[in-house]
Structure 1
Amino acid sequence: ERLGDIEAAVVMDLKDGGIFSAEKGRGAKYNGQEIKPSGISNLKDAIVSVDISRSIESIERTLPIMGRVKCLRALGAASLEICYVASGLLDAYIDLRGMLRTIDFAAGMLIIRESGGVFLQPSGEDIPQDTLLTEVKRFSVIASANRSLFNEIMMLINSIRKAT
């Protein structure tokens, strides 16, 4: 019923039928094999996926991040991109649009956290665990391989906000 009540999650990669899964307290898996995020801890070495909208504000907020990464991707599937971070295929996923619904990321959130990755709002705050899964509430999120990478992304976002 609530985000914090989720005990298990599954996300399917439709391109190859692969299954990402997690059970609370038991780790995360891809096709039954344990997964972990990459060890990349700085943007210059990171492969990052970014969701942006057509709004100038969204583009301006993410542009400085785009120029600092090793490689940029935009896949358009939030839960799958979060799972890619959980498994080391991506190093970070950033969505600053404030458009993601709880149901768009709930499964991916459990999977990345069970893998050892980070999943927080750009402010560094957790998503409220009492959020109803049926509630149409929208969020901006960052998924990253580790806290170091998250902190670098968050610092850039905060410096952009201060400059505007």
Structure 2
Amino acid sequence: MNIDTLLTGIIRVLKRVRKRVMESLESGEGRKVVGLGASGDSTLMVDKVAEDEIRKGLMDLLKDFYLLSEETGFIKVGSNPSLYLVVDPIDGSTNLSRGIPFSSISIAVSKTPSLQGLIAGVVANLYSEDTYWCIRGKGSFKNGEQIHVSHTSSLKEAVLTVVVNERRTPGGLNAVKPLFGKTKSVRLLGSVALELCYLAEGKIDAVVVPPNHVRNVDALAGIIIASEAGATCVYTGDETKLTKIEKLGFIAASTKPLLDEIISLTNFPQRKTFNPPK
């Protein structure tokens, strides 16, 4: 199966998943805690519903693949897989559990077990009909229309989002604090995959995540969508492997001058540029 056909199939799967998730929420069952996922977070009924529906849909599309998911971790499906599928059944579970309408479902596709091997991504907004996707080298799209990042090049004109969680990863707030007095506006929205799609379509100008603050399953689909829409992204730490759930930090910005200005103020360590294969 070629990547275009696979992506079309994944988009269909996520439309079905969105429908099942909303049905689960409307029934009142979706927000119940039913266990712990592979990432260590509480699993809501709606997480399980989404995960089960995604896995079934992917197995209908592909006979063989590797799957890395927030709920089940890393598994091999079939006897001879060549693609790695990175799934976050619900990104923004806290928002969802409180009824805040900002959550998403994401799937990234890689031809190698590393971040640099990404070749496609899909992110579906749970609370709207908006679906974002990209294929490496072909640009990024929202509902079939090509999208592009903004041209904002100065921090004083930029609207950006940050991810901080002092309880889980102390130090993140101090790492991004220098940005608060320099930028036009800072937002904390709660679904990094969807935030990266907002960057891709020019609604915001940068996404800033301190080291070890998000899981690879949360971010990878959004990272390649933003990159294909023109964003520049650098990430921190060792090369992210797609065979286990790992945490990373990154800065994704609409322009190189804006990225450089953010880097000069945050000074995150071990920066590497995300550069998917051509």
TM-score interval, smaller chain: 0.7 to 0.9
Q: Which deviations, in whole Å up to 9, do the C-alpha atoms of 1:64-87 show, x marking residues without a partner?
A: 101111111111111111111111
Give RMSD over aligned pairs.
2.0
In the alignment, does 2:123 pair up with 1:11? Answer: yes
Query: What runs of 5+ residues in structure 2 fail to find an aligned partner?
Result: 1-83, 85-112, 270-278
Q: Distance in 2 between matches of 1:68 and 1:5?
A: 35
Post-superposition Cα deviations, 1:95-129, rounded to whole Å, max 9, x if no partner, equal 1051222111111111111111111126xx8x73x
For residue 148 of structure 1, what is the amino acid of its counterpart?
A: P
**Residue number among 210, 223, 226 corresponding to 1:96 in the alignment:** 210
Residue in structure 2 matching 1:143, options 252, 255, 258: 252
Superimposed CA distance per residue, residues 14-59 of structure 1 (whole angstroms, 9 cap, x where no aligned partner): 2222011001111000111111100001110000101111256221
AA of the residue aligned to 1:47: V
**CA distance, structure 2, for counterparts of residue 51 and residue 73 of structure 1:** 9
Instruction: Normalising by structure 2, report the TM-score.
Output: 0.52
Higher relative contact order by CA 8 Å / sep ≥ 6: 1 or 2? 1
Give SS of 1:41's match.
coil
User: Greater shift after overlay, 41-50 or 3-12?
Assistant: 3-12
CA, structure 1 residues 117+79, in 2 after alignment: closer, same or farther (shift >3 Å)?
Answer: same
Unmatched segments (≥5 aa) in structure 1: none
Q: Deviations over 1:134-164 (max 9, x none)?
A: 3222111111101111100000012x99xxx
| Conservation of the 8 A alpha-carbon contact between 1:52 and 1:97 | no
TM-score by length of 1: 0.86
- Give the equivalent residue in structure 2 for 1:113: 227
Aligned to 1:28: 140
Counterpart of 1:74 in structure 2 is: 188
Divergent runs of 4+, >4 A: none
* Matched residue, 2:150: 38
User: Secondary structure, in 3 states, of the residue corresponding to 1:112?
Assistant: helix
The code of the aligned residue for 2:184 comes to K
3-state SS in 1 of match to 2:122: strand
Aligned to 2:200: 86
Identity %: 30
Secondary structure of the residue aligned to 1:143 is: strand
Q: Confirm or deny that 1:64 pairs with 2:64.
A: no
Match of 2:52 in 1: none
Q: Mean alpha-carbon deviation: is it higher for 39-48 or for 113-122? A: 113-122
| Helix, strand or coil at the partner of 1:60 | helix
Rg bigger for which structure?
2
AA partner of residue 141 (structure 2): K
